[in-house]
Structure 1
Amino acid sequence: MNLGVELAKIIKEESLTAVFQPIYATDKCELYGYEALIRGPSDSPLASPKMLFDTALECGLLSQLELVCRKISIARFAQLELSGFLFLNVSPMIFLQTDHPHGKTLAYVKESGLLPEQVVIELSEKYPIDSPSVLQKALMHYRDLGFRIAVDDLGAGYAGLKLWSQVKPDFVKIDYYFINQLHLDPVKREFVKSILSLGQKINARVIAEGIETEQEFEQLQDLGICFGQGFLFARPESYPVRDVPAIICNHQRSTLYLPQLEQTASSLLQPAQTFHMNTRTKDVVNYFHKHATVNSIPVLDGKKPVGMMLRNDILELYSTPYGRALNERKRIKEVMNEHPVIVEANTRLDELSKTVTAEKDDQLQWHFIITDQDNYVGIGSIRDLLRQLTQQQIKHASYANPLTLLPGNVPIYRHVDRLISEQRKFYFACFDLNNFKPFNDVYGYSKGDAIIALVSNLMQNYCQANDFVGHIGGDDFVAIFERENWHHHCQLILSEFDREVRKFYNEQDLNQSGIYAKSRNGEEHFFPLLSLAVGVVAPDVSICSSHHDVAEMASEAKKQAKKFTHSAIFLSRRTKPTARCEYTEKAKLCE
């Protein structure tokens, strides 16, 4: 079959299919947009995109193919009513073709009902050219029309750093090569960190593509990469997913506000000189003499670690009479420590600590070996492990409530300040238990803690994945919503609480709908059954300057909610800290 003829027919009949892969803002647990990709007819030898575009390049049909791809992708994106940005791949080769028509992309966008600001022109580096001035001119043309600009496949070929400084792209994509096994490669991590730093300096958002494993995703989050796409989340589809994957939302809830509490051995990974087990002992001793700061050398058999050479051991061996003469020609497998600590890279630090401290050999005080599926990848330092564990304990104490493990004051305040700085509308809800102290006095602190746990569980169950749930302390909780239907979910929490809390009382107290206990002045007093008070404010983010302003308004709203004798929600009309607090009958009806 003549592939050129086949391609010409495909272009003429526009028999191509657009598929879309989602791009996520992982820090906000949001769908950010879609990258459009093209597939040829399934029964054609040009079904794969590589064959399609390679043939177009060989036959001089690249310009025609690109235009048809854009037309189909834009129309399909609009037809599916997909949200966010549309990322369109553009080959730089077409900019060298003098017959490439201008204005077609803008026309396609307008015909579909989209805006140029919704479309990102993604420059691929897979077909490099030697005319940066041509690229710069073309990209600035697109920008002048209102399109956004992305540099794709950074590092895959064309050196685009000069182009970065000239065009200042809105987005930079890091190639799959640098994402693959990122958590096991210190060099790749350094590269990614440098790209992120450069991106921040030119105000470009850095997107990691090709994320395929949870370990890669976790490492990217630790490095601060907040935009990503890959098979771990979703594959390119004709009818793409519209929801945010659970792995992103779960990560945001569990680690965004409790950073570094679940780090693994890979976070301690560092490169080290290794020797094969058949190396002569004298070569290792010479290496120790030349490198005074090295204390441990992994010994390998191929890719498998089989032991560790320790500075103190080998030098002590040489210090004995005739030690050098007797040992320098021996293979190191004869003198090495045959039982080093070896752990997989995904071992959690708390588990790693147990493994290290369980060792009886006092000589294993410097390093341990890290593997990936039993293959050597590097070493870790005991000192770094202790430092990480100490930092985790400190952060855990300041970031999480010890009873519920929900985010505490620090992450709550940080989240509010970020919402204000980004001018994002939100509702701040304070949850507080009514009559909690007398309940504690009568039923004891154990049942009191169980009530706290009940509130925590209900809030986490009924709030959505992208809602923020925190525990200030005691019986005070916080929920922060960025959606308008927050009231429905708060009401579900209250209704479920009113049902469940009855299980904590004895029959007599249930029959009388409360308990007798001493009040603060020491007198016997009747207190109704426990209930939840929820005070809610919607701060004006253009006026409020920090979490202090929000906390002051929320405190007043909570006081109003606690005036009810049953579980109730009180929505305040107050939106700024200096305004007089006014309430309406409509707000009171939120109970």
Structure 2
Amino acid sequence: MSLQQELAQIIKHESLNAVFQPIYATDKCELYGYEALIRGPSDSALASPQMLFDTALECGLLSQLELVCRKISIARFADLELKGMLFLNVSPMIFLQTDHPHGKTLSYVKDSGLLPEQVVIELSEKYPIDSPSVLQKALMHYRDLGFRIAVDDLGAGYAGLKLWSQVKPDFVKIDYYFINQLHVDPVKREFVKSILNLGEKINARVLAEGIETEQEFEQLQDLGINFGQGFLFARPESYPKRDVPAVILNYQRSSLYLPQLELTASSLLQPAQTFHMNTRANDVVNYFHKHTNVNSIPVLDGKKPVGMILRSDILELYSTPYGRALNERKRIKEIMNDSPVIVDASTRLDELSKVVTAEQDDQLQWHFIITDRDHYIGIGSIRDLLRQLTQQQIKHASYANPLTLLPGNVPIYRHVDRLLSEQRKFYFAYFDLNNFKPFNDVYGYSKGDDVIGLVAKLMQQSCLASDFVGHIGGDDFVAIFERDNWHHHCQQILSEFDNEVRKFYSKQDLAQSGIYAKSRSGDEQFFPLLSLAVGVVAPDVTVCSSHHDIAEMASDAKKQAKKFGHSAIFLSRRTKPTSCADIPQESGTIEATS
């Protein structure tokens, strides 16, 4: 059978497989949607998508193949009950075919119970054409039907930028080539920044594809690219992942935890000589000659900073033949650097670091200008910034639990005290393992550490980036929620733990649903499988004064949860510490089990 005949049979019998790769809104730690990809029969010469579509193009069957691909992808997306947006690849070549049927994609979507607004038509540049007017007309047709539009593989070929101005797509996807090794390639970074700027101007969301390393991911976050997909997160699969990967959760959590321990730009403030922008250049040069330790001078217009004079720049002007004669009477506004780094005194040090490292002029890295409500108050040095960041990283590491690297007691207490001081409603969930000591005695401390690691992983995966997850020590964890749907996430942790923890037991112990070990009194005793007890309190923030009050109530709630002997959530109705005289003798409770 020839390839053309085989392809015809594949299309006729719709013997294609749809796989899906997750797309994440990384700043919100949310699964945003999936890109549908097609694979040929595994035992066929047309198994790879490259061979499949190249053959279809050569044989004049591209239109028929694309329709089958869309039909299968849409139906499979609906069958799997996947959430979010569905990104469908569409080749521009089919728009040149006069016999390509219209309305099929919309009918497939409606037949599957989806809405056009859930589907993104992703225009691929793999087979470019020279008829932008045809593309524009076709894409506007899809948009009129309610579909969203994405330009795929920007930069891989074809006049993508021209299409931007004509269609104004909802999404622009940056090709893998520009993402690969982005963190070590300044040219690629500049390209990505320019695309992001253009995307913001036309209100298009910029999506990076092909993210494979944490360094690439972190660089994209620093640049402000908040939509992404790639092997770092998940590979295309027939049964794709539905959760947010730990690498995204951990990155966003660290950006929340660190500011609690960080200082702001005001901590770096130091006085400096300033000059008005109309000062003569010669006066500034004379000042530099008299003060050999000064490298940077802020330039002001009244109280507002407008530039920076650098010693090396102005002395270089004077060092050229006739340099003094040509420049000594100039106003410094004519020769200053008019784009210095200017930050508000309240800027966190982590944000400040991103700002100064984004600058391309190495000499500007000596100092930056600090303002208060746009008025000049002083300067800061990069050396001091690096010193502070290093000290804070050491401090943060010392506060983290060494086993899980989650925030330990100090960050937990500070977070609770801050919520109380701001009188922000929250739920404090205290997690504790049931029967952990006998498990350690039988299976050893190494296995015990693995179980603790499992709890940490499940809590990070199930909680959102806005939730605070901490590790008090041993088998005690906390999660702090500022939202009312906390119960769903706690229940998810318990359910997944009950399933995963079975992997740590032998077949014999699983068969008897527990282990025999010595009790605290030294007697042989049967202990059920490990489970999680969660005691939850919703404190009255107008009455509770510190984390000590919360710890007391949460500890009592945890004890109540442990009485059930299996994974359970116990929500206490107590909202005030025992020191308050108006607390009733009987504290009501609500209990939920896994």
TM-score band (shorter)? Answer: 0.5 to 0.7
Alignment partners' CA distance in 2, 1:238 and 1:490: 25
CA deviation profile, 1:53-88 (whole Å, cap 9, x unmatched): 112222221111110110111111111222221110
Contact 2:537 2:574 in 1 (8 A): no
Q: State whether residues 459 and 469 of structure 2, in contact with CA within 8 Å, keep that contact through their aligned partners in structure 1.
A: no
**Aligned counterpart, 1:15:** 15
Alignment correspondent of 1:25: 25
Query: Which residue among 416, 426, 429 is the counterpart of 1:428?
Result: 426
Contact persistence 1:17–1:39 (CA under 8 A): yes
Paired with 1:252 and 1:48, the residues of 2 have a C-alpha distance of 36
- 1:141-180 → structure 2 map (5 Å cutoff): 141-180=141-180
Three-state SS of the structure 1 residue aligned to 2:183 is helix
What per-residue deviation string (whole Å, max 9, x for no partner) do you get for residues 303-335 of structure 1? xxxxxxxxxxxxxxxxxxxxxxxxxxxxxxxxx
Distance in 2, matches of 1:404 and 1:458, equals 20
Between 1:195-204 and 1:12-21, the stretch displaced more is 195-204
What amino acid is aligned across from residue 426 of structure 2 in structure 1? F
Give 2:190's aligned amino acid: E
The offset of 1:5, in angstroms, is 2.5
For residues 555 and 221 of structure 2, the distance between their equivalents in structure 1, rounded to whole angstroms, comes to 45
Partner Cα distance (2:66, 2:587) in 1:
56
Residue pair 1:398, 1:410 contacting (<8 A) in 2 also: no
Tell me the TM-score normalized by structure 2. 0.53
Alignment of 1:264-343 (within 5 A): none
Q: What is the aligned-residue RMSD (CA, Å)? A: 4.8
* Match status 1:192 vs 2:192: yes
Contact 2:537 2:554 in 1 (8 A): no
Does structure 2 retain, via aligned residues, the 8 Å contact 1:399–1:410?
A: no
SS at match of 1:98: coil
Q: 1:327-346 deviations in whole A, cap 9, x for unaligned?
A: xxxxxxxxxxxxxxxxxxxx
Equivalent residues of 1:430, 1:554 under 8 A apart = no
C-alpha contact (below 8 Å) 1:31/1:243 kept by paired residues: yes
For 1:215-294, what aligned pairs fall within 5 Å after superposition? 215-258=215-258
Aligned to 2:537: 534
Q: Give 1:119 shift.
A: 1.1
Q: Which amino acid aligns with 1:480?
A: E
Structure 1 residues 563 and 74: CA distance shift in structure 2, 3 A = closer
The 2-side partners of 1:91 and 1:14 are apart by: 19
Matched, 1:479 2:481: yes
Alignment of 1:440-589 (within 5 A): 463-465=459-461, 466-467=463-464, 468-469=467-468, 478-481=480-483, 482-485=485-488, 534-535=537-538, 566-567=556-557, 569=571, 588-589=588-589
CA distance in 2, matches of 1:109, 1:38: 17
SS at match of 1:130: coil
Structure 1 unmatched ranges of 5 or more: 263-366, 368-382, 418-425, 433-456, 493-531, 538-550, 574-582
Equivalent pair of 2:261/2:392 in contact (CA under 8 Å) = no
Q: Which amino acid aligns with 2:138?
A: A
Give 1:45's aligned residue: 45
Alpha-carbon distance between aligned partners in 2 of 1:217 and 1:406, rounded to the nearest angstrom: 26
Equivalent residue number for residue 92 of structure 1: 92
Q: What is residue 64 of structure 1 aligned with on the other side?
A: 64
Tell me what 1:277 maps to. none
User: Which amino acid in the other structure matches residue 535 of structure 1?
Assistant: A
Deviation at 1:241, TM superposition (A): 2.2
Counterpart contact for 1:257–1:411, Cα < 8 Å: no
Secondary structure at 1:485's aligned position in 2?
helix
1:407, 1:195 → 2: CA distance? 40
- The structural deviation recorded for 1:589 is 3.1
Seen in structure 2, the aligned counterparts of structure 1 residues 127 and 253 have a Cα distance that, compared at 3 Å, is same
CA contact (8 A) 2:15 2:40 kept: yes
* Aligned equivalent of 1:125: 125
TM-score (norm 1): 0.54
The number of aligned residues is 378
CA contact (8 A) 2:539 2:550 kept: no
CA contact (8 A) 1:535 1:554 kept: no
User: Which amino acid in the other structure matches residue 104 of structure 1?
Assistant: K
CA 1:430–1:144: 2 relative to 1, 3 Å: same
SS at match of 1:99: coil
> Which residue identity is paired with 1:209?
E
Secondary structure at the aligned position of 2:482 is classed as strand
Shift of 1:133: 2.2
Question: How far did residue 385 of structure 1 move?
Answer: 6.8
What is the CA distance between 1:567 and its match in structure 2?
3.9
Deviation at 1:588, TM superposition (A): 4.7
Q: Aligned partners of 2:198 and 2:176: how far apart in 1?
A: 19
Q: Equivalent residue for 2:527? A: none
1:182 maps to 182
One-letter amino acid of the counterpart of residue 46, structure 1: L
Q: What do the CA deviations read for 1:182-208 (whole angstroms, capped 9, x no partner)? A: 111111112112222222333322211
Q: Distance in 2 between matches of 1:261 and 1:125?
A: 47
Aligned to 2:388: 390
Deviation at 1:97, TM superposition (A): 1.5
The structural deviation recorded for 1:393 is 4.9
Superimposed CA distance per residue, residues 340-379 of structure 1 (whole angstroms, 9 cap, x where no aligned partner):
xxxxxxxxxxxxxxxxxxxxxxxxxxx9xxxxxxxxxxxx
Secondary structure in 2 aligned to 1:244?
coil
- Output one character per residue of 1:484-512: Cα deviation in whole Å (capped at 9) or x when no partner: 435769999xxxxxxxxxxxxxxxxxxxx
Relative distance call for 1:242 and 1:470 in structure 2 (3 A) is closer
Q: Does the residue aligned with 1:258 lie in a helix, a strand or coil? A: helix
Within 1, Cα distance between the matches of 2:197 and 2:398? 30
- Structure 1 residues 211 and 153: CA distance shift in structure 2, 3 A: same
> Residues 112 and 156 (structure 1 numbering): CA distance in 2 closer, same or farther, change over 3 Å?
same
Q: Does residue 116 in structure 1 map to residue 116 in structure 2?
A: yes
Question: Using a 3 Å threshold, how does the CA distance of structure 1 residues 49 and 261 change in structure 2: closer, same or farther?
Answer: farther
> Which residue of 2 is the match for residue 376 of structure 1?
none
Measure the CA separation in 2 of the matches of 1:80 and 1:4: 32
| Equivalent in the alignment of 2:104 | 104
Go from structure 1 to structure 2 and tell me whether the alpha carbon gap of 1:152 and 1:478 turns closer, same or farther (over 3 Å shift). same
* Shift in Å, 1:162: 2.9
